[in-house]
């Protein structure tokens, strides 16, 4: 991954992450990103160079939307302000705790959005911690305190299939193709399916959506920096979300804005 995302490019992609107005100032480091990327074989290294660049642009595009500090008239444009936050902004509702025998909530712990992908809920912190190597139930705060762990939770989510959804990695690396039911639901390979995976129940199948447009704006900027074309099917305007269960359950991540 470091051969595609050099430290110089990383700093260009996330140009204002260390701005004085960003609450994550000094947190998201290049070394932490590379350590996390190297922990997941295949991430950003699958297929030809075009596929690799598109996957990495998509990863940063989606996570930058979740952590954005940009606004329409921001210096260098709104899409130069990814990774401005490491914790969910506003007043997160409750503890994000759902009754679970496998991942019972710990007393006094809150499972609101943290890290690049803004991981949320006890039933996501538990599996993420198990996969990455931390106690997600008893120590969710580490996702906002350890940059490498934080990046690892984001890459874990990116690489992990959640049936009936494919993994974001498989979509962007070219390993997923639409089934008959996918085609009937308007889902076709491309960046739009990744948005559908992440937040389809709220953003997809409803025509143009400002949150979708923000995700696409980041992705296009990053593709331009990496010198790769965008590919097709960037939006999910006409895509139905994946499965009834995926629509009715609380989504994995919480949008910052």
The helix-helix angle for 210-226 and 191-203 (nearest 10°) equals 160
**How confident is the model at residue 93, as a pLDDT?**
63
Average pLDDT of the segment spanning 82-102: 88
ω into 164 cis (within 30 of 0):
yes
Q: Active site includes 95?
A: no
Active-site entry in 55, 66, 88, 203: 66
pLDDT at residue 118 greater than cutoff 70: yes
pLDDT class of 90 with cuts at 50, 70, 90: confident
Alpha-helical runs (H) found in the chain: 7-13, 30-38, 49-66, 122-132, 147-159, 168-172, 180-184, 191-203, 210-226, 244-248
pLDDT class of 91 with cuts at 50, 70, 90: confident
**How confident is the model at residue 172, as a pLDDT?**
98
pTM: predicted TM-score of the whole model, two decimal places: 0.93
| Alpha-carbon span 88 to 223, nearest angstrom | 26
CA atoms within a 13 Å half-sphere pointing along the CA-CB vector of 222: 33
Domains and CATH numbers, the chain: 7-86+153-226 (1.10.530.10)
């Amino acid at each position: 991954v470091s051969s595609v995302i050099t430290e110089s490019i990383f700093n260009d992609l996330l140009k204002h992450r260390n701005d004085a107005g960003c609450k994550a100032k000094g947190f998201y480091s290049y070394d932490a990103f590379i350590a996390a990327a190297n922990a997941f074989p295949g991430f950003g290294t699958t297929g030809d160079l075009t596929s690799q660049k598109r996957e990495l642009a998509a990863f940063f595009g989606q996570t930058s939307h979740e952590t954005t500090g940009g606004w329409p008239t921001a210096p260098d444009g709104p899409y130069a302000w990814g990774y401005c936050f490491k914790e969910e902004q506003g007043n997160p509702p409750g503890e994000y705790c759902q009754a679970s025998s496998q991942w019972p909530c710990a007393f006094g712990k809150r499972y609101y959005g943290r890290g690049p992908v803004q991981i949320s809920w006890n039933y996501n912190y538990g599996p993420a911690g198990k996969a990455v190597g931390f106690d997600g139930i008893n120590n969710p705060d580490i996702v906002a305190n350890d940059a490498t762990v934080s990046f690892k939770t984001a890459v874990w989510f990116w690489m992990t299939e959640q049936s009936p959804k494919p993994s974001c990695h498989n979509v962007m690396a070219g390993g997923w193709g639409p089934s008959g039911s996918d085609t009937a639901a308007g889902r076709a390979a491309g960046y739009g399916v990744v948005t559908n995976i992440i937040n389809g129940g709220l953003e997809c199948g409803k025509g143009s959506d400002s949150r979708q447009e923000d995700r696409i704006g980041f992705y296009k900027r990053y593709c331009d920096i990496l010198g790769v074309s965008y590919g097709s099917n960037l939006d999910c305007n006409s895509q139905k979300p994946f499965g009834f269960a995926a629509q009715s359950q609380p989504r994995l991540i919480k949008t910052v804005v």
